[in-house]
Amino acid sequence: MPNFDYEAPTSLASALELLARPGEISPMAGGTDVIDQLKNNRRNADLVVDLKRIPDLLVLESNGSGLRIGSAVSCTEVHNFTAENGNYSALAESSELVGSVHIQNRASIGGNVCNAAPSADTIPSLLIHEAVAHTASASGEREIPLIDFFAGPGQTVLQKGEILKELGVPTPSANTTSAYLRFIPRNEMDIAVAGVGSLIEVDPSSDVVTKARIALASVAPTPVRAYAAEEFLEGKNIDVEVIAKTADLAVEATVPITDVRGSAEYRKELIKVLTKRTLNICLERLA
Ligand SMILES: Cc1cc2nc3c(=O)[nH]c(=O)nc-3n(C[C@H](O)[C@H](O)[C@H](O)COP(=O)(O)OP(=O)(O)OC[C@H]3O[C@@H](n4cnc5c(N)ncnc54)[C@H](O)[C@@H]3O)c2cc1C
């Protein structure tokens, strides 16, 4: 592994000052992606700035408007918190899928987002909740809807010296359910060949879907929302035909590649199957 300097600041201000310095500076939270990339010469760093000791990045709370999840909060903590607090099944499910228990204990949700892998498991769950990325740099803070955060495989819209501070996840209504499923060739420790997060809100007096959100992993250069499928589903009573048509429309949002994990056609078929399954799980959860 190439040599690099290492700093572990304990305040956000110190971290931002370090990150604003000239040279190749790499923020690191859990390091489960960063260290591997450094070891395999897929990343250069003069300085690695460890974000795990900064209290501002370790916030995890539910308030009147929703969840605040600090970027350095581990996937294990996100899972435990969202499994116990509120209506965030998809987020609880996806944060429990990242690698093994050991990886989840170390890996942060912010690292999963900022690594910007098309296959990242927590991103579709955040997208269906219309999460907002709160960023910070030496020149100030900004808010970016998460759907606008990704610029390509491994690429985000973060500027040099800017980090993800926290994710804001609005509170879903009581009549909302969600689910996340991915397909991998083995039971764990693999990345998604395809993944689907679905969220529906249903009017209990009529069973009409008042809101639908569907987000896909591993089938485009960035995680994507399946807007045509969402629009079709909204305003309808869900039945087998509606679910089948929604799943067909979800495929329209994909531009998959063929690689060692699966062909483009296989990925499209997986999106169809996973969309149907996640919607059926949402319905079971509403019952
Ligand atoms: C064995 C193994 C299995 C894995 N399995 C899965 C899996 O099943 N699903 C999955 O989605 N991923 C998986 N991963 C990938 C990885 O564990 C996740 O992406 C993890 O969430 C990364 O979090 P981290 O805190 O370790 O990120 P780090 O490695 O610290 O950082 C990842 C990237 O984000 C940047 N970064 C981190 N925090 C910030 C911040 N606050 N602001 C700006 N940039 C930041 C870093 O500079 C780097 O580019 C696996 C990795 C390993 C090694």
pLDDT band at 190 (very low <50, low <70, confident <90, very high): confident
Angle at 120 between CA 118 and CA 124, to 5 degrees: 90
Closest Cα to atom 21, ligand 1: which residue? Answer: 112
* Range from 114-118, 146-150, 160-164, 183-187 carrying the lowest mean pLDDT: 183-187
When the pLDDT of each residue in the chain is averaged and rounded to a whole number, the result is 96
107 lines ligand 1 (CB under 6 A): yes
123 lines ligand 1 (CB under 6 A): no
- pLDDT single digits (tens) 11-24: 999 999 999 999 99
Given this model, what pLDDT does residue 31 score? Answer: 98
* CB contact at 8 A, 248 and 170: no
Instruction: Choose the final residue of a domain: 157, 172, 187.
Output: 172
Please state the rounded mean pLDDT for residues 28-53.
96
For residue 70, give both structure tokens: 């600090």
Report the atom number in ligand 1 closest to the C-alpha of 27: 47
Pocket test for ligand 1, best of 49, 78, 115 (most atoms within 8 A of CB): 115
Residues 12 and 101 in one domain: yes
97 lines ligand 1 (CB under 6 A): yes
The two most distant CA atoms of the chain are separated, in Å, by 63
Closest Cα to atom 19, ligand 1: which residue? Answer: 112
pLDDT band at 189 (very low <50, low <70, confident <90, very high): confident
50 lines ligand 1 (CB under 6 A): no
The set of residues, in sequence order, having a beta carbon less than 8 Å from that of 66 and lying 6+ positions away, is: 168, 169, 170, 171
pTM of the model: 0.97
Q: Which structural domain, as residue segments, surrounds residue 36?
A: 1-49+57-172
In angstroms, rounded to a whole number, what is the distance separating the alpha carbons of residues 168 and 264? 33
* CB contact at 8 A, 168 and 134: yes
Query: Is 154 strand, coil or helix?
Result: coil
167 lines ligand 1 (CB under 6 A): no
Start-end of H helices in 159-256: 227-233, 240-251
* CB contact at 8 A, 19 and 163: yes
233 lines ligand 1 (CB under 6 A): no
Given this model, what pLDDT does residue 142 score? Answer: 98
Number of domains in the chain: 2
Residues 28 and 134 in one domain: yes
Residues 36 and 141 in one domain: yes
Instruction: Look up the CATH number of the domain holding residue 64.
Output: 3.30.465.10
- pLDDT single digits (tens) 72-88: 999 999 999 999 988 99
Given this model, what pLDDT does residue 96 score? Answer: 96
Residues 81 and 219 in one domain: no
- The residue written with tokens 């993800």 in the block is 164
